[in-house]
A and B are shown apart, each in its own frame.
Chain A
């Protein structure tokens, strides 16, 4: 079993939709949780960072962590074609462990 599981997609949604991206993990020692966005052939860009259970909001993005279920989510409201990218969850204990990424396509 991988330490971090993430559905690879692709996920295709119309512009304006609410997008839900999810990861599950097996290591209860993970303390820090991040979401990165990666455009094709580019380095990952940090979107959200949290270390506690609950919700954290930043503009159109909301990160949710449920440590009891070992489950994290990223919600994107009012999705735009420019949000089309691969979204990577990442978790830290002594090093950063990434999910495989979910490819999102937002069509006009």
Chain B
């Protein structure tokens, strides 16, 4: 499998501020990473696909100007929640695609609480 890290593991911020979440692929170079959001007692929902060297692809209903994704290198993707509001409070998880497979390996997640 793949080893994926996320930072920070949890963050509390005030409404209106921006928050950056980092996702790192630790053991191989990932041209594609994925960002998911999970609300309590709900399933993971794909937000966007992050592509190294090109623009991210967003799922329907996800505001690209609010959730900025930057895939700066083959091991790092960042998600910035701009002007966060309480309804953005959620568990954000990234994943990388396994080499040569359709599987995805997930990071430990980042819990965001917007006050």
Stretch at the interface among A39-47, A53-61, A73-81: A39-47
A16 within 8 A of B: no
A88:B1 contact, CB within 8 angstroms: no
> Known interface pairs A32-B102, A49-B103. Does A44 touch B46 (Cβ–Cβ under 8 Å)?
no
B104 within 8 A of A: yes
Nearest-neighbor residue (CB-CB) of B45 within chain A: A98
Chain A, range 62-108, C-beta contacts under 8 Å to B: 88, 92, 95-96, 98-101
B41:A34 contact, CB within 8 angstroms: no
B12 within 8 A of A: no
A8 within 8 A of B: yes
B44 within 8 A of A: yes
Nearest-neighbor residue (CB-CB) of A92 within chain B: B102
Shortest C-beta distance, B31 to chain A (Å), equals 16
A99:B105 contact, CB within 8 angstroms: no
CB contacts (< 8 Å) of B42 on chain A: these are: 100
* A90–B35 alpha-carbon span in the complex (Å): 15
The contact of B43 among A32, A34, A43, A100, by CB within 8 Å, is A100
Nearest-neighbor residue (CB-CB) of A99 within chain B: B43
Q: Taking each of B45, B49, B104, B105, which has the highest tally of chain A beta carbons within 10 Å of its own beta carbon? A: B104
Nearest-neighbor residue (CB-CB) of B106 within chain A: A43
B1:A8 contact, CB within 8 angstroms: no
CB contacts (< 8 Å) of B8 on chain A: these are: none
Nearest-neighbor residue (CB-CB) of A8 within chain B: B41
The contact of B44 among A42, A44, A45, by CB within 8 Å, is A44
A98:B43 contact, CB within 8 angstroms: yes
Q: Taking each of A8, A32, A96, A99, which has the highest tally of chain B beta carbons within 10 Å of its own beta carbon? A: A96
Nearest-neighbor residue (CB-CB) of B1 within chain A: A46
CB contacts (< 8 Å) of A41 on chain B: these are: 91, 109, 111
CB contacts (< 8 Å) of A44 on chain B: these are: 44, 93, 106
A49:B93 contact, CB within 8 angstroms: no
A95:B46 contact, CB within 8 angstroms: yes
Interface residue ranges, B against A (CB under 8 Å): 1, 4, 6, 34, 41-46, 49, 59, 91, 93, 95, 101-109, 111
